[in-house]
Amino acid sequence: SAVISQKPSRDICQRGTSLTIQCQVDSQVTMMFWYRQQPGQSLTLIATANQGSEATYESGFVIDKFPISRPNLTFSTLTVSNMSPEDSSIYLCSVADTAKNIQYFGAGTRLSVL
Amino acid sequence: GESVGLHLPTLSVQEGDNSIINCAYSNSASDYFIWYKQESGKGPQFIIDIRSNMDKRQGQRVTVLLNKTVKHLSLQIAATQPGDSAVYFCAENSSPPSGGSYIPTFGRGTSLIVHP
């Protein structure tokens, strides 16, 4: 299994500001995923981040709002830009074990926007 | 579009009882299903999986049943313990494009509350 560390674990931000969330994996992985989990809801995929290429965004999510970096095979960042209260959510990073088709998740970043 | 959903958002049980969490899926092309457990303040964690060529799979205290006829999945937890209190998600995968990776579609989740 993979060990995933996310920072920060939580934050309270003012509207109009941006927050960058970091995700560190203890092994090299090709694909990393960013999810949003709104209060009491399931997980919604924001984008898939491949090292060396542009991230692939799901319908309803755009790069200007959620820019992603993937500088190497163990690290990725997700930025939530120009935040509004509607962005209050848990943001989760995950990686896939392609041999087992299982995803491993970080503990998440709990974001509150005032 | 295709979706995965759960019948019950909250399930309360007494410690020692058996728990059954249900999930309905609609994508008949799905060939792989996973149950995840998410404890408070943590990310989802893999519990058990099942492929579409099976109808039952057992783990330690957990059993997953798959009924492809009615597109229904269930997770049974035997002798439920307070530590089982969490939100449980089912997820469905369909075979990825060549060279691709499974990206699951998650159901809404069921909150399991175990009373001592």
Q: Work out the average pLDDT over A28-50.
A: 91
Residue B85 to residue A58: CA distance in whole angstroms: 31
- Among A45, A96, A105, the residue with its CB nearest the CB of B44 is A105
Of A8-17, A39-48, B77-86, where does mean pLDDT reach its minimum? A39-48
- What DSSP line would sit under A34-58, residue for residue? EEEE-TT--EEEEEEEETTSPPEEP
The predicted pLDDT at position B3 comes to 44
Quick one: A32 exposed, middle or buried, by C-beta within 10 A (0-12, 13-18, 19+)? buried
Of A73-77, B5-9, B36-40, where does mean pLDDT reach its minimum? B5-9
The predicted pLDDT at position B98 comes to 53
Q: Work out the average pLDDT over A80-92.
A: 97
Residue B104 DSSP code: P
The percent of residues above 90 in pLDDT, for chain B, comes to 68
What number of other Cβ atoms are within 10 A of residue A87's Cβ?
20
Q: Cβ contact (<8 Å) for B42 and A33?
A: no
What number of other Cβ atoms are within 10 A of residue A62's Cβ?
12
Q: Cis link prior to B9 (omega < 30° from 0)? A: no
Between A2 and A17, name the one with better pLDDT: A17
Q: Which residues of A touch B (CB under 8 A)?
A: 4, 30-31, 33, 41-45, 48, 92, 94, 96, 98, 101-108
Judged against a pLDDT cut of 50, whether residue A13 lies above it is answered with yes
DSSP reduced 3-state for B61: coil
DSSP reduced 3-state for B18: coil
